[in-house]
Amino acid sequence: MAVISKELFERACGDVPCSVIVHPWNESCLRASPETYYQTAIGSIKFYSIVYAAQLLMQTKKWKKKEFWKKMGEYYIRSTLLGAAVTGTYANMSCFLRWMLGNKFTFYTYNRIPFTLTGLYIYLEPPSRRSLIINLFFNLLAEYYLRSLERSGYLKITKAKQTLLFMIGSSLLFYLMRLEGDKEQRTPLFWLYTPEKVRRKEDGSKNVCPHEGPCHKFILKGYGTYFGIGLAISLARLIIPKIKTPIEAISSIRGKHFKMALFFGSYIGIYRAVVCYLCRKQGFDSALYALPAGYLAGLSSMFNSSLGLSIAVFSGALKLFSTILYEKKILPDFIPLPELLYCYCQGTLFHARFMDPDICPNYVFNLMKTVSNHRCEWVYENILDIIKNIQ
């Protein structure tokens, strides 16, 4: 897979009919459309079933509430509509732009502009989920840009740098999360762990730490629980693709499958231990303890270092910081900055999936493959064939 430049794309695909590189399943734009929407609806249902199943498993405590199931059902339908609408409308728009430009495809009007515009469908998601998705796409974009800087030689990302980034990011994120602790409505954020609220002196408890009971129990329980979660995730990832032969899957468990468990466990364990130590030493609790605690806890990412994770922790901190800016009216409310940012991210990343696949994050590949019900691969193969023929 190589980069497809603007020049190459327009020379190869400029005059190709849209039935080859937008909707190979039907020659007519009009008649292809129902099939496009149908396939993306199927793909979307598949994709979000997995996403929502994972979310349900993480919230078993709420299962007894009828309201919770109603809400999840509604969100599931809205997400599925989002997936189908983005992809289906993209195809219509790409054909339309081609027709407007005198039956010619250009590098930007083929998929970048259509996918940027269909990003507005993000409004289909309810605000709380929307902000999580925007966060995810922002992380993916940052990953893509960092990789492209690395490729052009401006930057070298080593494991040590990734770990250091993660340490600084964790320290800021945990600090800002603890600052937010007393607020009624917290900024929605998807992170491994939500730190305990700061213990106030006035609340009359004998314990100076932000938890009940003895410190060692609190620390070990954190370590154990998160070790278990990490292990469960790694095993699920290992076993699900091999579900047909569970024996084979179980016999292939090796040391590397404990990496995530060690990372999760020590991340929470170290964080809690440092906070408890400082509380005991100073005799009172403070949000500031999260700074050294988060920093040292970040060391655990040596077990399972990843660029994506280091970016995620920073963008989480950035998000909490931007909430503070909105609250202090430094950022005006009427500009939907996050939604516009999402449109830009979607356009850039979906474009990169086709034109710059070497450094496009894997998540984007999987997302487009599943939601388009594998139609995306079909189209991409066609583009590669056309390019091969002219070279």
**215 or 220: whose CB is closer to Zn ion?**
215
Question: Per CB under 5 A, does 140 bind Zn ion?
Answer: no
**Contact string (CB under 5 A) for Zn ion, positions 257-296, x = contact:** -------------------x--------------------
**219 or 317: whose CB is closer to Zn ion?**
219
**By rule CB under 5 A, what count of residues binds Zn ion?**
6
**176 or 276: whose CB is closer to Zn ion?**
276
| Long-range pairs of 107-113 with CB within 8 A, sequence gap ≥ 24 | 107/6, 107/9, 107/10, 107/355, 110/9, 110/13, 110/21, 111/350, 111/351, 111/354, 112/347, 112/348, 112/350, 112/351, 113/347
Distance of CA 384 to the CA centre of its chain: 28
Strand stretches in the chain, DSSP E:
none
**Contact string (CB under 5 A) for Zn ion, positions 177-216, x = contact:** --------------------------------x-----x-
CB of 203 to Zn ion, least distance (A): 15
Alpha-carbon span 30 to 16, nearest angstrom: 17
Distance of CA 313 to the CA centre of its chain: 11
**Contact string (CB under 5 A) for Zn ion, positions 88-127, x = contact:** -------x--------------------------------
CB of 277 to Zn ion, least distance (A): 8
**Contact string (CB under 5 A) for Zn ion, positions 25-64, x = contact:** ----x-----------------------------------
Please give the radius of gyration of the chain, using alpha carbons only, rounded to the nearest integer. Answer: 24
Q: Which stretch binds Zn ion (CB under 5 A): 22-30, 181-189, 307-315, 340-348?
A: 22-30
Alpha-carbon span 210 to 282, nearest angstrom: 13
Distance of CA 319 to the CA centre of its chain: 14
Residues that bind Zn ion (CB under 5 A): 18, 29, 95, 209, 215, 276
